Amino acid sequence: MKFLCLAVIFISCASASAETGINTVVRLLEVRYSVRQHGIPGLWLAKPFMIGSGVSGMKVAEFPKFRVLARDTYSLRQQVEKCLGPEWHPFMEEWSKADGEWSLLLTKAKDQRISMLIVTSEHEDGVTVIQLNLSGRALREWVDEPESAKHNSASLR
Amino acid sequence: MKRTLLSVSIVVAAAICAPAQTIKVPESWDKLAAKADDVVNVSLDKKMLQFASKFMAGEDENEKHLVSKLNGIYVHSLEFKNEGEFTESDVDPIRTQLQGPEWIHIVDVHNKTERENVVIYLKMVNNQSLGMAILVEEPKELTFVHLDGPISPGDLSDLSGSFGIPKNLHVSEKETSKPKAEIKK
């Protein structure tokens, strides 16, 4: 059964389009854990509030009733990186046992633009996957204080 | 002959494709991470650093120049709920990697009051500094920083507090002229 599951994940990764991103991770989570994502209706309404923040092109997928277990984070991280491919670079990983929170941040630099992909698992909110583009200034803030990046991502939701 | 050529090709390809980070974080740290209350791993490769440096300006000019030259910044931090959850044997595999002829032990500070140990190693090749490793041990916290690329001890203060690197790290050039100097904290 485990082999079958791994085979399905491998095939889903292999069949992913050349441009990997949030959909690749959502597909991986859905196959690996048999869960379904919930989109966020009316996300476009938040766009005006993002003007000036240096953040654009935000996409969000939520798995509200699902949490990643601590013992599973290592192998999930490996699979996420494998599915996304070498163009995505793991930037930061944070695990807090007390809060039951895990965050993985990956970045992709392409054509003078930085895309960031955030996978978080929180005790109250479940698993959230976010993809966004960062301006130079926003990137500078996030890179300067990587630990605040997770909190920045929470405030974007 | 074909087999030999193939083997050589694989070895060469592996060497070319080897990641820039030369210091391996030991597997025992994965087990420690499972015990830790907070785990933070930061990994910034050359591409990311160069991109970030483009947006530094003004007062950050020194830092911009420094960051643009680096090949990578890697930070591994573990924070525990109780004291005594890690031992010297957990840190030894990292120290062992820093015993090679290229690594020079330049700073060693033991703060008895705060029970904090800070050691800094400098990678010297052909009289040029090509990297720095910092190990900070506190009763409940363990931090390892690897700065890969040309960097001098005096540059540390420019990076301290940024990129996940612990704050208040500063080493003067004078202090590093002799091995195992003192660090201002």
Burial class (CB in 10 A: 0-12, 13-18, 19+), B138: middle
Closest residue of chain B to A150, computed from CA coordinates? B40
What is the CB neighbour count within 10 angstroms for residue A48?
Answer: 8
Q: List the end-to-end C-alpha distance of chain B, in Å, as a whole number.
A: 59
- Give me the residues of B, 52-91, that contact A with CB < 8 A: 52, 54-56, 75, 81
If one counts the domains in chain A, the total is 1
Closest residue of chain B to A111, computed from CA coordinates? B51
- Mean pLDDT for B78-101 is 90
Q: Which residues of A touch B41 (CB under 8 A)?
A: 92-94
Q: Which residues contact A84 (CB under 8 A, 6 or more apart)?
A: A20, A21, A24, A25, A106, A117
Question: Which pLDDT score, from 0 to 100, does residue A76 have?
Answer: 93
What is the sign, positive or negative, of the torsion defined by CA atoms of B102, B105, B107, B108?
positive
Q: One digit per residue, pLDDT tens: chain A, 157 residues?
A: 555 555 555 555 655 546 789 999 999 999 999 999 987 776 666 666 666 667 888 899 999 989 998 888 888 999 999 999 999 999 899 998 888 899 999 999 877 778 999 999 998 889 999 999 887 777 777 666 666 555 555 555 5
Contact B43 A144 (CB under 8 A): no
CA distance B185 to B181: 13
Question: Which pLDDT score, from 0 to 100, does residue B19 have?
Answer: 44
Q: Which residues contact B169 (CB under 8 A, 6 or more apart)?
A: B118, B134, B156, B157, B160, B183, B185
Q: Which residues contact A2 (CB under 8 A, 6 or more apart)?
A: none
Single pTM value for the model: 0.76
ipTM over 0.85: no
Residue B35: band (very low, low, confident or very high) from pLDDT cuts 50, 70, 90: confident
Q: Which residues of B touch A139 (CB under 8 A)?
A: 51-52, 55
Domain that holds residue A28: 2-155
β-partners of residue A62 are A38, A128
Contact A94 B41 (CB under 8 A): yes
pLDDT higher than threshold 80 for residue B54: no
Closest CB from B33, B51, B81 relative to A109:
B51
**Mutation target among B55, B61, B80 for the A interface, most CBs of A within 10 A:** B55
Closest CB from A90, A95, A143 relative to B52:
A143
Greatest mean pLDDT range, A49-53, B43-47, B48-52, B78-82: B78-82
Closest CB from B33, B56, B164 relative to A147:
B164
Q: Work out the mean pLDDT of chain B and round it to a whole number.
A: 78
Closest CA to A121 of A87, A85, A153: A153
DSSP state of B124: E
Contact B163 A74 (CB under 8 A): no
Task: Take residue A42 and report the two structure tokens written for it.
Answer: 């009316």
Q: Which of A70-74, B23-27, B37-41, B127-131 has the lowest mean pLDDT?
A: B23-27
Q: What sections of chain A are H helices per DSSP?
A: 2-14, 22-33, 47-50, 73-84, 136-144, 146-156
Q: Are A70 and A94 in contact (CB under 8 A)?
A: no
Which is more confidently placed, B27 or A57? A57
Contact A143 B33 (CB under 8 A): no
Map out the domains of chain B as residue ranges.
20-184
Closest residue of chain B to A137, computed from CA coordinates? B55
Distances (CA, A) of A115 to A60, A136, B51, B157: 14, 11, 12, 29
CA distance B133 to B62: 20
Share of chain B above pLDDT 90, in %: 30
Residue B77: band (very low, low, confident or very high) from pLDDT cuts 50, 70, 90: very high
The model's pLDDT over B122-152, given as tens digits with 9 standing for 90+, comes to: 999 998 999 999 999 999 999 999 999 999 8
